[in-house]
Chains A and B, each alone.
Chain A
Amino acid sequence: GAVVSQHPSRVICKSGTSVKIECRSLDFQATTMFWYRQFPKQSLMLMATSNEGSKATYEQGVEKDKFLINHASLTLSTLTVTSAHPEDSSFYICSAWGLANIQYFGAGTRLSVL
């Protein structure tokens, strides 16, 4: 199956700093990637769709100036949480379409903002 690599797996930062999370498709090209957010004991919530070479599409209620997405190549999308605050602490997961209409997910990034 297709492999999606996400880095880092865990990050702790101080309030007010910015954090970048990388999502890579290792063995296939992904013109579109997706970013999800998951709070404890809750389901995944789609934040945005990352499109290679163009602007990301954000879901309603997601601040695009806080969650910057860059999809500069066919295998890499990045999510930058700018000026992070404790309420941004969450589990962030990326995904990409692989073969046969299947979404493949990264392992996730646990962000803790102190």
Chain B
Amino acid sequence: LAKTTQPISMDSYEGQEVNITCSHNNIATNDYITWYQQFPSQGPRFIIQGYKTKVTNEVASLFIPADRKSSTLSLPRVSLSDTAVYYCLVGDGTGSARQLTFGSGTQLTVLP
């Protein structure tokens, strides 16, 4: 199974930009990269998805280099409410196991 690797935790201060990188060396040609946010005692929430280069939406940007072996989630000007666990998943949307396999995630703590 393709495995994703992320930093276990990160700290930041309010108003700063936060970049969380995910390594996915075994990504397949048809795989997308999807990031989720999870608050305690809640289900994960979709943040952003991309295939290559850069994707931006109203809450985040996703940067994917040409080799696609890693990706970086960028959260601009974080606030205390962005404290959560962030997960990256890779998969082709067919329900294959690797897209359903969560790594350890990154615990982001935003400090005042």
Report A-chain residues with C-beta under 8 Å of the C-beta of B45: 105
Q: A6-B43, A107-B43 are contacts. A100–B103 as well, Cβ < 8 Å?
A: no
- What string of 1s and 0s marks CB contacts (under 8 Å) between B37-69 and chain A? 000011111100100000000000000000000
Please determine whether A43 and B100 come into contact, CB atoms closer than 8 angstroms.
no
- What string of 1s and 0s marks CB contacts (under 8 Å) between A14-47 and chain B? 0000000000000000001010100000011110
Please determine whether A49 and B95 come into contact, CB atoms closer than 8 angstroms.
yes
Please determine whether A107 and B91 come into contact, CB atoms closer than 8 angstroms.
no
Q: A44-B44, A91-B41, A108-B42 are contacts. A101–B93 as well, Cβ < 8 Å?
A: yes
What is the number of residues of chain B that contact chain A, defined by CB distance less than 8 Å? 24
CA distance A95 to B97 in the complex (A): 14
CA distance A104 to B34 in the complex (A): 11
Report B-chain residues with C-beta under 8 Å of the C-beta of A44: 44, 87, 102
Residue of B nearest to A92 (CB): B43
Q: A1-B46, A43-B102 are contacts. A101–B41 as well, Cβ < 8 Å?
A: no
CA distance A32 to B99 in the complex (A): 14
Question: Is B92 in the interface zone, CB < 8 Å from A?
Answer: yes
- Which one of B43, B44, B95, B102 has the greatest number of beta carbons of chain A within 10 Å? B43
Q: Which residues of A contact B (CB under 8 A)?
A: 1, 4, 6, 32, 34, 36, 43-46, 49, 91, 93, 95, 97, 100-108, 110
Q: Which residues of B contact A (CB under 8 A)?
A: 32, 34, 36, 41-46, 49, 87, 89, 91-93, 95, 97, 99-105
